[in-house]
Structure 1
Amino acid sequence: MLAFGCTWLYDGAMSRSDRFEIFLAAPPGLEEVLTDEAREMGFGPVTAVPGGAGLTGQWTDVWRANLELRGAGRVLARIGSFRALHLAQLDKRARKFDWAAYLRPDVPLRIEATCRKSKIYHAGAATERIARAITETLGAPIAEDATLRLMARIEDDLVTFSLDTSGEPLHRRGYKEAVGKAPMRETLGALFLRQCGYDGAEPVLDPMCGSGTFVIEAAEIAVGLPPGRARRFAFEDLAGFDAEAWQAMQTPRPPRDTPLRFYGSDRDAGAVRMAGANAARAGVAALTKFTCQSVSALTRPEGAPGLVMVNPPYGARIGNRKLLFGLYAALGEVLRREMRGWRVGLVTSDGGLARATGLPFLPPGPPVAHGGLKVTLWRTGPL
């Protein structure tokens, strides 16, 4: 939900060329990391806010954010606001809202309302009034399983409408058909890579690669492949959507040349096959190498040092915590022996397991929600 201040109240249709508030969702704790990415990608000014980053822009900025930002989980567009002190007033003003400027009568819509510190306190009743206003004035069908989502936030008697322009969460890049146990979301993996200072100019190695998220994300960054190139977005179903302009924005740019290679290994042969298949669908198979081996068999790749990025099992996620101390100790030992000059980024929910590696970690990052747990990124300088 949008978390930054309202700057205008609805008093008619917003022009397609007007600027409006855009919210980029990120896991709490990584707002500054996503803000840095958005600034680097030319969005701005961008402000870190609870749960993500906020900026002012146009619809083309919404399209580009969905297409190019690696760390954003969703892109929300704020389309209007008005005051409402009771349900009858909400109903009346929702009927006057120019829904046709944004929604199509033939596209199903899902509505979610939240109420906080307002005289309108029943979210279900608010949802019902807004839905009725839309169906009776525009004709768009309301469906709980619709891809297009309208979010109504009622706070301090201010009703704010936002559209989820992404549809499916943005970590669903469109190429990962196969996943293993407790997979790392691509958006979260990209933010952790950025936290480790990765910019595509060095190799990345993951000795417990699972379905290959870190390795594939790193390879895509190195050659400049936009993360949203292989999927569809909800904004394509909005009124006035310019398919020709969107197609021009999507026109593939030639991948950058890179001499780098990106390495993943796992003791699970099925995971290695999945990772290789995912890399092929992502178009980076030629840049990646996946090997079936245990951590103890890890050897340093030829060439300059880079970044080891690893998301090992942790007791609350996979396996018995007591048995994992030996695994983490063995991981630390092989990294110190084989990966001199390389930096390490390790993601875990358990600080005790991280410290069991014996690696010289810097102060850890903030806890981040992941799969019902709180995980933390532990980083080292060059070993």
Structure 2
Amino acid sequence: MTDNIFEIFLQAPPGLETLLADEAREKGFDAPATVPGGVTTRGGWNEVWRANLELRGAGRVLVRIGGFMAFHLAQLDKRARKFAWEQVLRSGETVRVDVVCRRSKIYHAGAAKQRIETALEAFGAVIAQGAEDGEESDASAIAIKVRIEDNEVLISLDSSGAPLHRRGTKQFVGKAPMRETLAALFLRACGYDGREPVYDPMCGSGTFVLEAAGIAAGRAPGLTRSFAFERLASFDAERWARMRDGAASGRATGLRFAGSDRDAGAISGARANAERAGLDDIASFGHAAISDAAPADGPPGLVIVNPPYGGRIGNKKLLYRLHGALGETLRRNFRGWRVGIVTSEPGLARATGLPVTPWGPAVPHGGLKITLFTAPPIG
């Protein structure tokens, strides 16, 4: 395995970059710095693998593998053919090329894409089906990202493959699901560090509960899935196995994590998700209406919930009453617990009657803009 040092880009939802930078810093990545849409750091392939394996908040891990200057298409064609693809890709691998041009003499992204695809084919790569005719291309292809800006051609690749919120364990997905990566960042925004219990009274498929339990147990989020970097020329299977085995050890925790939902099917699915994640010993789910939600005996912790907010589920007018009932239940049964509520409607968060304040800006999610509202311990 080569020991080249690369610029590594960790993708984050706009507005939550600082949270991901904090996580990367805690995990020992080199000088993480926030940029629009993510975090940059530097490292070799070992750090690329580890970012995919360990970081809960990153949506993808992109690697800057090189670049060159090009002022016209003929020069782009020549230099793309001379690029050291063999140091990164294996001959015969399927790839997809995406090109963006800005402030450059090469301004036609389609023409630039064609030249780079031709260079890759000359190397021995296979261009993904549909990549040239506007159709959806092969999802299993390794994505090559090319940015031509100020006449500089910057070449990156997506080392993750499938988005990192796909942990490989949540086969059941409920209505309006929260991505695991976003849930992990919202937990961090609430101050959660794995040392207190977490309860979700509208848990759906259990995303918040399982992310919190995984953090507390020290279980790396990427343990049960594969990554695009496993198909690269730089991949060392034995070294990767040692890294993954080390991340699988985890740690013991006496905490318990729980969720409830009025949908019995969602509870059944959440339990199955917990079992697949290996967290069913510390994460439990029960069928209950909002008014019956209550924590087990023990210290207070964090209630975090992603209730219906009318954008995709439910009648918004009726939801004010639901949020009011949520607030009543929390005040009655969760004294001493902090609260996090995710919603697209500030009025719904305030309808709980809790002293909620927004944490940061609204975040794009599923075609909506959602905001995390937090409240201090319930008195």
TM-score w.r.t. structure 2 length? 0.95
1:236 counterpart SS class: helix
Moved more, 91-100 or 356-365: 356-365
Work out the percentage of aligned pairs sharing the same amino acid. 62
Are positions 1:117 and 2:103 aligned together? yes
Question: In the alignment, what sits opposite 2:203?
Answer: 209
Counterpart check, 1:22 vs 2:8: yes
Query: Shift of the alpha carbon at 1:362?
Result: 3.1
Residues in 1 aligned to 2:291 and 2:360: alpha-carbon distance in whole angstroms: 27
Residue 159 of structure 1, aligned match among 153, 162, 166: 153
Q: Which runs of 5+ in 2 are unaligned?
A: 129-136
User: In structure 1, what is the equivalent of residue 38 of structure 2?
Assistant: 52
Query: Which aligned segments of 4 or more residues in structure 1 are displaced greater than 6 angstroms?
Result: none
Aligned: 1:300 with 2:295 = yes
Q: 2:164 maps to which residue?
A: 170
Q: Which residue of 1 aligns with 2:222?
A: 228
After TM superposition, give the deviation of residue 255 of structure 1 in Å: 2.8
1:283 aligns with 2:269: no
Distance in structure 2 (CA, Å) of the matches to 1:215 and 1:233: 25
Deviation per residue, 1:24-54 (Å, 9 max, x gap): 0000000000000000011121101110100
The residue matched to 2:258 in structure 1 has which SS?
strand
Instruction: Say whether the 8 Å CA contact 1:153–1:160 is kept in structure 2.
Output: yes
> How far did residue 299 of structure 1 move?
2.1
Deviations 1:56-110 (Å, cap 9, x if unpaired)? 1111000000000000000000011111111111101101101111111121111
Give 1:90-169 correspondences, 5 Å limit.
90-136=76-122, 138-143=123-128, 144-145=137-138, 146-169=140-163
- What is the aligned partner in structure 1 of residue 173 from structure 2? 179
1:232-381 equivalences under 5 Å are 232-252=226-246, 253-381=248-376
For residue 57 of structure 1, what is the amino acid of its counterpart?
G
Shift of 1:357: 0.8
Whether the 8 Å contact between 2:199 and 2:295 is mirrored in structure 1 is no
User: Does the CA contact (< 8 Å) of 1:35 and 1:48 recur in 2?
Assistant: yes
Amino acid at match of 2:304: M
SS in 1 for 2:372: strand
Equivalent AA in structure 1 for residue 368 of structure 2: L
| 8 Å contact kept, 1:263–1:290 | yes
| 1:193 shift after superposition | 0.3
1:189 is paired with a residue of what secondary structure?
helix
Separation in 1 of the partners of 2:109 and 2:316? Answer: 42
**1:139-196 deviation digits (Å, cap 9, x = unpaired):** 1111031431100011111110001000000000000111011100000000000110
Q: Find the residue that maps to 2:347 and give its secondary structure.
A: helix
Counterpart for residue 50 of structure 2: 64
| AA at the equivalent of 1:157 | N
Deviates more, 1:291-300 or 1:125-134: 291-300
Measured against aligned partners, the alpha-carbon deviations of 1:4-37 in whole angstroms (never above 9, x if no partner) come to xxxxxxxxxxx92121100000000000000000
In structure 1, the residue corresponding to 2:148 is in which secondary structure? Answer: strand
Alignment of 1:81 with 2:28, yes or no, is no
Residue 185 of structure 2 is aligned to residue 191 of structure 1? yes
List runs of 5+ in structure 1 lacking aligned partners: 1-14
CA–CA distance in structure 2, aligned partners of residues 134 and 257 of structure 1: 48
Would you say the 8 A contact 2:200–2:304 is kept in 1?
yes
- Tell me the secondary structure at the aligned position of residue 364 of structure 1: strand
1:63 maps to amino acid: W
Are the equivalent residues in 2 in contact too, given 1:147–1:168 (CA < 8 A)? no
* TM-score, normalising length: structure 1: 0.94
Q: Decide whether the 8 Å contact of 1:362 with 1:381 is kept in 2.
A: no
RMSD: 1.1
- Could you say what secondary structure the match of 1:285 adopts? coil
| Amino acid across the alignment from 2:12 | A
Q: CA deviation at 1:361?
A: 1.4
| Corresponding residue of 2:132 | none
Deviation at 1:363, TM superposition (A): 4.1
Compute the displacement of 1:333 (Å): 1.1
Superposition deviation, residue 282 in structure 1: 0.1
Give the secondary-structure state (helix, strand or coil) at the position aligned to 1:159. strand
